[in-house]
Amino acid sequence: MDTFTIGDQDFLLNDEPFRILSGAIHYFRVQPDLWADRIHKARLMGLNTIETYVPWNEHSPTPGVFNTDGGLDLARFLDLVAAEGMRAIVRPGPYICAEWDNGGLPAWLFSDPTVGVRSSEPGYLAAVGSYFDALLPIVVERQVTHGGPVILLQIENEYGAYGSDKAYLQHLVDLVKRHGVDTPLFTCDQPFSTMIEDGSLPELHKTGTFGSRSLERLAFIRERQPKGPLMCAEFWNGWFDNWGTHHHTTDAAASAAELDALLSTGASVNIYMFHGGTNFGFTNGANHKGIYEPTITSYDYDAPLSEDGHPTAKYFAFRDVIARHFPVPAEVPAGRPVRPESVVTMRSGVPLLSAVDALGSVCDVAGPVPRSEVTGQYRGLCLYERTLGRGGVLAFDEIRDRAQFFLDGLPLGTLSRELGERSIVIPRGGLLQVLVEDQGRVNYGPRIGESKGLTGPALLDGEELRDWRIRPLSLDSLDADAGPLGALARDLAGAGGVAGPSLSFATFEADGPEDRYLRLDGWTKGNAYLNGFNLGRYWSRGPQRTLYVPGPLVRPGSNVLAVLELQGSTTRDVRLVSGPDLGPDEK
C-alpha cells in the first residue's frame, strides 16, 4: 500500500515529493450522477486531488441517524475520486462553515441549551463522538495506507477565528486516531493575528486560507511553522452571494496570476471552490455581522467550473498556469450546449393554508411562544396559530427569519429579520396564523446554534400571549402526483397570476436527462420542485434569476414541476432556459 507523510519541506507520497494540486467539490452540493463528470474535469484542469467538507447536519438530520443514501454517499464519491486516479482530502468538521446551514452543525444539538458549541463541553463532545463513530469508518478504509485516495484529514475548521480551546482540539485528534486515522492531520486558518496558533496544536500541520497576496501570506505561515510544506488549503478564487446584493466575481487573469505566484514558491494548493454547486432545498447558510444576510441558492462561487459543470474563462486561465509547472492532460472539456427554451404554465394549485393538514401535525405548546425547534423539524417553514379576543399591536423580541401574518385567512403583512421588523398591527380579534420561514441558519461566528421561529415574549399591547399551536410544514420534497396534495389541487382559472402563499403544479414533456435552468420572472419568493426534488429558493430581489435543474432529475416523458409561492406572482408561466442568470456583478 501507499504511504503519505509530511517531510521537512515536502509532502511525501511513497517517500517521494508530492505537490498537492487540489480542487474543492462538495459532494452534497452536486447531484450524485454528476460527481464523476465534475471530478474528471478537475483532472483535465491539471489537478491531482479533490477536497470536500462533510456536513454533519445533512447526514444526521435527527439524533441517532446517519444517512449515506443518494447524494450523501461519501463512500461512492471517494471511490469515484480514486477511479479517476486522484487523491482526496476530507474535512469532516465537526464545524465546516462553507456558507452551509448552521455551519454543518445539527440544529437538534442545541435543543438542549446546556450543550456547548465547538468546545470541550461534555454534551457537545459526546455528540461529536457519535458522529465520528458513524463517519470515520468510511474514511479510514479509504485512506492511502489502505489502498484508497485519502491523503489528509482536517481537524476542525478555521478554529482560530472562533476560539482557542486546546483541550477540544486535542480531543478531536485523539478521537480520530482511535478510529484508525493514520494519514496526516492538518488545520487551516487565516494568516492573521494569532489565528494560526489559536486554531492548531504543535503536532498538527498548519495551512492557510487566502485568495490574494500569496507570497506575504505564505511567509506569515512559514514564520509560525519553520518546517514542513507550505499549503494554501483554501485558495479563494471567487466568492458567494447573499440575497439583495450583486453577483460576486473575480477577474480570471488576476486570480490566475495569484495562483502562479503561489505555485512558483513550491507551495501546495486547494482551490476553493473548483466547482461550487448548489444549495438545494433549504440548505443555505447565512451571515450575521450586525445584519442578517441569507446566502442564495446558487453556490456557483465564480469558480473555474460553473454551477452546471462547464469550464469558464477562469478554468482555462488556471489550466494554463498549472501547465507552466506540471503536465496537464491534452483533453479539454466542452462548453455549455445551447438548448431550446420553453414555457411551462401552472395548471393547478392549492392555497398553502388550506393544505396544512396534509403537511404536518399540530403541536400544542403551553407557556410562552415557542421556537420552531419544538416541532422536531429544523429547516423550512412552520405555522403558528392562536385565537385572539381583540386586536392591538403585536410585538416580538425577534423574527427568525421572515413571518407572514394572517387573520381569519386574510393577509395582514410581513415582518423581516433583515429589516429589523418586530411589530405588526392586528385590527381585531380572530384566528391569527403566522407563517414563518427559516431563511438559513448563521454559519459563521457567535450566532451559530441559534434557534428559529418567533422569539418571545409575544406581547399584544404589552400583554404576553401564551399557549400557541405550532405546525411544521413538510416541504423538503413535493410531488403533486402523490399523497393528499394532489387531491387538494384545483384547476387555476384565468390568465392572471397566483396568489400566495400557495402551491402550484404543472407537467411538461422532456426527451431525457438534460440540464436546464428555471426562470421565474414575475414570481416573488418561494421554492421550486422538479419531480419532488427541492431545487432551492428563488426571490425576485436577486441577484440570481434562475434555478439550476440538474439533468439527471429530468425524466424522459412527463415531468412534474411544483412552485411554492409565498407572496404572489404576476403570471402562471415559468420558463425553462438553457443557461444561468446569476445577476449583475459589481462592475
φ and ψ at residue 84, rounded to 5 degrees: -85, 0
CA 240/CA 99 separation, integer angstroms? 8
Helix (H) or strand (E) holding 256: helix 252-264
**Catalytic-labelled residue, pool 234, 418, 437, 565:** 234
Supply 26's cell numbers.
462538495
What b/e sequence results for 547-582 when a residue is b if at least 16 CB atoms lie within 10 Å of its CB, and e otherwise? bbbbbebbeeeebbbbbbbbbbbebbbbbbbebbeb
The 3-state secondary structure of 97-143 reads CCCEHHHHCCHHHHHCCCCCCCCCCHHHHHHHHHHHHHHHHHHHCCE
> SS3 of 375, please?
helix
Count CB-CB contacts under 10 A for residue 198: 17
User: Within 13 Å and on the Cβ side, how many CA atoms surround 350?
Assistant: 19
Residue with cell 480551546: 165
What is the DSSP secondary structure assignment for residue 552, as one 8-state letter? G
Gap between the Cα atoms of 419 and 294, Å rounded: 12
Cα separation, 547 vs 98, in Å, equals 20
**Exposed/middle/buried for 362, CB within 10 Å: 0-12, 13-18, 19+?**
middle
CA distance 582 to 366: 45
C-alpha cell at 32: 450524485
Burial 313-331 (b: 16+ CB within 10 A, else e): ebbbbbbebbeeeeebeee
158 is catalytic: yes
Distance CA 452, CA 439 (A): 9
Peptide bond into 32 cis (omega under 30): no
Q: Are 182 and 203 in contact (CB under 8 A)?
A: no
On whether the CB atoms of residues 120 and 109 are closer than 8 A, the answer is no
With CA atoms as reference, report the closest residue to 312 among 237, 364, 375, 261.
237
Residue 234 annotated in active site? yes
Residues pairing with 530 in the sheet: 533, 561
256-269 CB burial, b ≥16 within 10 A, e <16: bebbbbbbeeebbb
470's grid cell:
405550532
- Of the residues 158, 307, 437, 565, which is catalytic? 158
Tell how strand 292-294 and strand 286-288 pair up: antiparallel
**Closest CA relative to residue 318, chosen from 19, 44, 585, 25:** 44
State the catalytic residues. Answer: 158, 234
